Every structure is written in structure tokens, then in C-alpha cells.
Structure 1
Amino acid sequence: MAETTTRVLRLLSLLQDRTHSGRELAEKLGVTDRTLRNDIRRLRDLGYPVHAERGAIGGYRLGRGSTMPPLLLDDDEAVAVAVAVGLAEDGATGIADITEHVGRALAKLEQILPKRLQRKVTALRSATAVGPATTGSREPDAPIPAEVLTTLAGAIRDRATVRLDIGTAADEFSDPTEVEPYRLINWQRRWYLVAYVLDSHTWRAIPVARVRRAAAGTRRFAARALPDDDLVAFVMRHVASTGWRVHARVTVLAPAERVIARINPAVGVVEAVDSDTCVLYTGADALETIAIYLSMLMMDFRVDGPPELVAHLRMLARRYTDSVREAPD
């Protein structure tokens, strides 16, 4: 009976992949056509809608049923689903009334995960924080290999250094770079690693999409004083000042506290000059977006750079002025 159960589960796994001919399934399972038909019947009795199609391109396929039968996932699929569900439980979806359902789904999945996979999932979840979904971006998604994420999460858990091979776009890093990893931040469909870079002795928010390879080292490190109590805020400030396509420096004629209270932390970094003036370092995907941010400040300001932003604001000022001029008699 155990052999039959194992074979039927193997059959289910094959059917979840794609359509297979009867001969192909029988050969992969090492059974006769009659045994295969019996196993198909067993799956149907369990509620799996296995459809048989005739013809040259026919075969068996798993269809949609009226209920939700159990699924078979390989190791990488199980880890990916558990991490994604965990991020949803942490509020990364923006969908109302979903937390309770997500929590139950995660509990069911974690209950049956093998220990070797549970260790990966636990490391990823404990090493990850989620940024707020409060700002948009026109930048394309930056997918990263799951192996890189699990390596970084394991190193964070073990407090082990990591050697990173980083793409050529990151000229500020030597290659390879050895870092002490502290936290993974997921924000706006991108991943960032908060790490202490040993070569430059600086704290950085490293875009994980730039990492071509991550290799965990054997050297352990003692935890340093963090650059910020809120590492999500640290990453958002870092992205605001270095991570956008366009950057700007703006002197705002208002106290720093007032500007900070007005803007989203992702929009920029504010530094006080005196009690009535501060500097805003901001960025966005386009000059037009920065102009919108500045108009929403509702405060007097002076653009220090770049010149392209100054020219764009002058053009907008002319248009606004022309739009309110009185028509001639």
C-alpha cells in the first residue's frame, strides 16, 4: 500500500506540471497501462479533476475542480510560497481583511514543512522587514535569484560575513565586497540589504538586484551599533538620496521639523541649516515627479540643483502665470 501511495503522489506531481500522454506517464512511473488507469481513478476519487483528452496531442491533465485539493510543491516552490505568504501577513499586499486568512494559510504550510525548509523560511522571515506601500515608481521590477536571498538570510541569522559579487552599476563597491549583513528590507517590489561594508567601513543599503553572487563566509562577527533604530527608515532615506534616477538639492525656507512632518520619508532626507531653514535632498524617477513633490510642500523653497530641474520649474511657472492672466478687453 505504501508503494501505491508513493506512486500516486508521484503521478499527481507529474500532472501538476503539464499534460502527459498515457505512455509517457506509464514509462516514468514504471507501471502498466492498466495500473496507470487505476491510479488515475484513485486521484479522481480523492477529488482531483484529472481530464483525459484523445488525439495526437491528447493525454492526461489536471483540471479545475469544484473544491481545493491538496497541492504538491517542490522544495523551492514551498519556500517561495511560505515567504510570499509571510510578507502578505506582514502587510505587503495592501488588501483589506486578508491578514486572518493569510495567517491560517501560513500556519498550515509551516506545520508540514520539513525541518530543512523550515530553517530557510524562518531565516528569511526573521531577517526581513517590509517598507510602507505609500509611494509609486515607474521603474521596472528587479527580480533576484531565490538562492541569493536565502544565502543572505542565513548569514544574517548566523551573524556570518558575506562576500558579494556586485554588478558594474555599483561603482562605489569593490568587487568582490565583504560585508556584515544585518537586515533584508522589501520595499516597492525590491529588496535591499542593510550591511556594514568592511572595505569602506560604512553602512549601506545595497540593492540586492545588483548582487550577482553571494557566498556566506565562515567568520562570525559581533553586532555593531546600528545606523538607525528603524532600518526600514534607513533604507528609505538611502534610496531617497542615492537610489533614484534623478536627484535634487532644495533649500526650504522653513524649520526642518515642519518639513519632516510634511513629507513621506521616502521622498527625501532633511537636514537643518538653522532654526528657520533646512536642506531637502530628494529624488524620483523623473524631474516632473520632483516638481510635484515640491508643489505639495506648500512652503517657500529654492532649488540648488540640478539645472534641469530649475529650467523645468521656470517653464511650469510661466505656464501657471499665463493660465491666470486676465483676457484682454
Structure 2
Amino acid sequence: MQKTSARLLSLLSLLQTRRDWPGALLAERLEISPRTVRRDVDRLRELGYPIVTSKGPDGGYRLGAGTQLPPLLFDDEQAVALVIALRTAATSGAGTEEAAARALATVRQVLPARLRHRVDTLHVTAVERPTTHTSPQVGGAVLVTLGAAVHARETLRFDYSSPSAPPAGADHTDSPPARRAEPHHLITWNGRWYLVAWDLDREDWRTFRADRITPRTPNGPRFPPRDLPGGDVAAFVAARFQGADGSGAPPCRGQVILRRPASEVAPYVHDGVVEEHGPHHCRLTLGAWSWPALAAALGRFDADVEAVTPAELRSAFDHLARRYADAATAPPHTRGDGQPVTKDTASRSGGPG
């Protein structure tokens, strides 16, 4: 039999892996008697773990939520994942950098030496895509409030500030009536947090910037869920941010089957949707401002293209194919000294190889 301390850690680890544990099953997994399980549960309660007991012939135990955060137990992989998440928290735009740094210091202090060495060698440098806009921070309390409203399906009442207006919610005396929306999803896009919701006043789907939202309390009544257009929040949000004419979609949008696994294509698709289509194929939906531009963008994946839709995209592929074929058979042009520019001379002069 394990020593008491080791047995308590094993018991706690099991309690964290599922919601309910029958006492007999715990005793079997730990190779101890049901009486010893009861004693160990009492010891964990004394340490601050809120363990709930269910009575009856099939009674068991459940690790509940307490008023204070008790000590947590992580295996090696979980501990490393937690450190990585805390190191990258500064790029989330959630305004939790200081809290994440303090949490990281706390976690590192209690890590075993073997894990501390591993995580100390991990240095993360966040490099964001060049952009002309800043990414305002959103308070953690606001994100929690929005997330709770999404989860509870409660109508959200909030003030929404414009870029040039003073902070919303500072004074309700002369402010316009609160906005009302049915929150659907809380998402991040390009370093900013957004709320996808059904605007009750405008009777339309909208995306609200979370840093401009000041929630009012209490929330409104609960609402039945609505179907998001298309059913996919990622595709919906991508279309909203790509569309310039207010239609919610780029002018030209097509779909193809690429003879490449989705895992190889997904890292290079920023504004499209990639879906598995068998072990060696994927379905890619992408948009662009012209059909030739879309065809050229799809060609950069260096993969065979199948099942092209719509017809305009097929025509664009045919147009580019003829243009590229003409370029491949055209005679080389000459440099200023009269010598032809070949592949070798272009490579030596810094051109594409």
C-alpha cells in the first residue's frame, strides 16, 4: 500500500478526472478498502478540498467548488502547458499581464527541479502582425461578465462607446438608453476581443468590441438560442471583417478541395475556413477581391486542386493557366547590356531563383 501522502495525491488526481466517483471504484483503483477511502477523503477535506459525498448503495464522491481555491494537482504535461499559457497571456489583449506574471512566479516556485529547468529554457517572444491600430486592453471582469451572459443565455444590457466618445458608463444621467443584445459568442480577432450578438434594437447580428462595452446590471431575461448565419462562428466573423460593402462577405468567395492534409494548410490560412476531407485532402473556403486574385491565392499552397466552385473561379483558373503558359514559353528579355536574363543570372543578381 502507498504511504498516506502519496495515496492522498493519487486520490485527488482521480477526483479531478471525472465528475462522480463511486466509493467502491475508488477503492479498487487505489487498491485500498472503502473505509480507507473515507478516511482519506476526510483528510483532503481538512486540507481545504470541498469533496461532496452522495449517500446510498451506489454512493460516492465528487470534488466540488469551494469558497477558496485549494491546492491544485497537475501532472508534468499539465504543468508545462500551464507555464506556456501564462507566458503567452500578454498577447491575449485581456489586460491580465500583471496577474499572469504573478501566477507564473507562483507556479514556478512550486515546480519540481526537473520541470523548473524545462520551463526556464522556454522563452517566448510575441511578434504580432504589423497593423496600424492598437489593441486596447479589456478588463478581466468585463470578459467574465460577457462570458457568463453567453453561457446563461441572458439578455445583455450595456453602454457602447464610439472611438471618439468618453468612456461608456461613466454617467448614465445624460447617456442614451442601454443597448440590448442576445450574446452568442465571445471571440478574439487580430488581438482584440469581440462579442458576437443579436442586436435587439436593430434586429440584426452584430459584432461589438469588448473594450468599448460597459455592462449594466442586472442582465435582462433569458432568451432561446438563435441560429447563427451559416452555423459556424469562425466563418461568420471572418466574413464580417472581410466584407467592405456591408454584405458581410468579400466580393469573390470560392471553395476547392486541395490534395493536402488540413494540418498542413491551416497554419497558412488567416481569413478562410479549412475542413478535413479525408486523411490526405482538405476543403478550403476562401475569399478575395477578384476571381483571378482568389485563384492565385489558392495556387500558393502547391497542391492539386479539385472540385472547384463556383464557375467564375474555374474561369479564373483557366485565365491564369493560359497567362502562365504564355509566360513559360516566352523568350527571355534582355538586360541593359543586351544579355538575356536567364534563371542563373536572375539568381546571381538577387532575383527569384
- For this structure pair, what is the TM-score category when the shorter chain's length is used for normalisation? 0.3 to 0.5
TM-score by length of 2: 0.39
Q: Which has the higher contact order (CA 8 A, sep 6+)?
A: 1
TM-score by length of 1: 0.41
Structure number with the higher strand fraction is 1
Q: Which has the larger radius of gyration?
A: 2
